[in-house]
């Protein structure tokens, strides 16, 4: 039975990946999930798998070399899928150091422990071992607004935020292991994800949550920054397909050609909420564009991201399956059906963060 070591499996994409993998492979695989359970890690995301015999959770920090090498020593790990990271740009602007620690040092520890466990005396690696590093399109920087330019795997790295700089650094470390040791790895660079279990500090769940509570919907700057949104299930399927069908040592960009301005996203969410809330639901009265509030822009705000997924389509046969109109409705339905999840994650620590982040942000004018 193949054993996967998944890092950051209690977070948004990692938990979706674990659900997907058990849905697809059932008892034919074993998953060990290593997560430090930061503010973004939530074991509630994995309630339905926690009693499986082929699933193990280990609470550990990926920077803890002793803990990670112990996992490799105790288990025959075949695949590493490395999600664990600090992932939010706004937090990275306020506190860059933890991003460098987790994203750069943590990745170095993961690489080093996997290398030590998998390397043969002649410097080659045991057959079939693979490491997949999950990264972001933000490493490529920002594209011009009215351009048909896209991010390709060959686009030079040009990160701007501390988050994207730390992810770019981690990508380069993985590349250095491939180039120096012929370490068996892949890197995937994906566009913005949305879907179930996403922490409501990111645009889409934040807007859904705020709108349902009648809170203001904060739009940074002019609201015309463009992101390329992909339903999380399409991302996790792509990760599995790259490990199964991709060429080792290659980078694959993942995205579904779904570029939208932030303000468009907010309008689509409001429209979908209006359509999906029951006729007698009192929230219908305030889930409206009046909630839209323009606030001070994010520092160094990248203007446009857009992925060219040509390589993964041609080499791996991956295509996105969930179009945005359907994906956003699935996501909203999930949030309707999981109100307790949202209540739990928005109480305590998250609430404090929210007050700090938006309490001091100057409002630019409402309902523009
Ligand atoms: P997330 O913030 O929801 O989850 C991160 C997880 O990592 C959490 O469970 C957290 O507890 C864990 N973690 C953090 N620091 C850790 C540490 N030191 N040791 C062990 N675990 C630790 O993030 P996400 O949105 O699920 O992103 C997962 C990965 O995908 C990240 O590497 C991110 O850069 C990448 N990515 C995200 C997106 C996106 O749109 N969210 C897009 C492309 C790539
Ligand atoms: P986010 O979800 O933080 O992802 P990223 O910064 O990694 O792309 O933000 C998506 C876009 O939405 C980005 O252009 C910033 C913008 N944004 C807002 O306008 N308001 C908000 O409250 C948030 C969280 C983001």
List, for residues 89-98, the tens digit of each pLDDT value: 999 999 999 9
Alpha carbon distance 229, 327 (integer Å): 10
Determine the residue of 142, 189, 203 to mutate for testing ligand 2's pocket, defined as the one with the most ligand atoms within 8 A of the Cβ atom: 203
Ligand 1 binding residues, C-beta < 6 A: 7-8, 10-14, 35-38, 40-41, 61-63, 83-87, 102, 106, 134-136, 167, 190, 192-193, 199
Q: Which ligand is nearest to the CA of 202?
A: 2
What six digits make up the tokens of 81?
A: 């899928």
Q: Is the pLDDT of residue 367 over 60?
A: no
- Average pLDDT (272-294) is 96
Check residues 367 and 18 and name the one with the higher pLDDT.
Answer: 18
Ligand 2 binding residues, C-beta < 6 A: 89, 192, 202-203, 206, 218-220, 225, 227, 262, 298
Q: Is the pLDDT of residue 357 over 90?
A: no
Q: Mark whether 179 is an active-site residue.
A: no
- Contact in structure between 273 and 211 (CB atoms under 8 Å): yes
- Which pLDDT tens digit goes with each residue over 235-256? 999 999 999 999 999 999 999 9
Domains and CATH numbers, the chain: 2-358 (3.40.50.720)
Q: Mark whether 146 is an active-site residue.
A: no
Point out the catalytic residue in the list 4, 17, 55, 163. 163
pLDDT of residue 365: 57
What six digits make up the tokens of 219?
A: 């739009």
Whole-number Cα distances in Å, 109 to 34, 133, 178, 185, 203: 13, 13, 15, 15, 31
Q: Give pTM, 2 decimals.
A: 0.97
Token pair 């996992």: residue: 71
Q: Which ligand is nearest to the CA of 36?
A: 1
- Average pLDDT (103-111) is 98
Q: Spell 188-222 as b/e; 16+ CB within 10 A means b.
A: bbbbbbbbbbbbbbbbbbbbbbbbbeebbbbbbee
């Amino acid at each position: 039975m193949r054993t996967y070591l998944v890092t950051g499996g209690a977070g948004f994409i990692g938990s979706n990946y674990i659900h997907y993998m058990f849905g697809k492979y059932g008892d034919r695989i074993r998953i060990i999930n290593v997560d430090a359970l930061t503010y973004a890690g939530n074991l509630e995301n994995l309630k339905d798998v926690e009693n499986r015999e082929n699933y193990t959770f280990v609470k550990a920090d990926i920077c803890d070399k002793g803990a990670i090498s112990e996992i490799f020593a105790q288990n025959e790990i075949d695949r590493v899928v490395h999600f664990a990271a600090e992932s939010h740009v706004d937090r990275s602007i306020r506190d860059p150091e933890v991003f460098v620690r987790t994203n750069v040092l943590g990745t170095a520890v993961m690489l080093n422990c996997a290398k030590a466990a998998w390397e043969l005396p002649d410097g080659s690696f045991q057959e079939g071992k693979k490491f997949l590093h999950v990264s972001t399109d933000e490493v490529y920087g920002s594209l011009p607004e009215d351009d048909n330019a896209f991010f390709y795997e060959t686009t030079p790295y040009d990160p701007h935020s501390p988050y994207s700089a730390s992810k770019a650094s981690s990508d380069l470390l993985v590349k250095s292991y491939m180039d120096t040791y012929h370490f068996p790895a892949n890197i995937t660079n994906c566009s913005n994800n949305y879907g179930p279990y996403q922490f409501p500090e990111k645009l889409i769940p934040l807007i859904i949550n705020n709108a349902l509570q009648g809170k203001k919907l904060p739009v940074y700057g002019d609201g015309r920054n463009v992101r390329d949104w992909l339903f999380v299930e399409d991302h996790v399927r792509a990760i599995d397909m790259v490990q199964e069908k991709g060429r080792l040592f290659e980078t694959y960009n993942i995205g579904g050609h779904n570029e939208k301005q932030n303000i468009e996203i907010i309008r689509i969410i409001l429209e979908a909420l209006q359509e999906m809330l029951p006729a007698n639901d009192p929230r219908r009265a305030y889930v409206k564009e009046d909630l839209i509030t323009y606030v001070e822009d994010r520092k160094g705000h990248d203007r446009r991201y857009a992925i060219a997924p040509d390589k993964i389509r041609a080499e791996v046969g991956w295509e996105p399956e969930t179009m945005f109109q359907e994906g956003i409705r699935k996501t909203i339905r999930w949030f309707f059906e999981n109100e307790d999840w949202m209540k739990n994650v928005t109480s305590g620590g998250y609430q404090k963060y929210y007050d700090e982040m938006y309490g001091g942000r100057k409002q630019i004018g409402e309902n523009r």
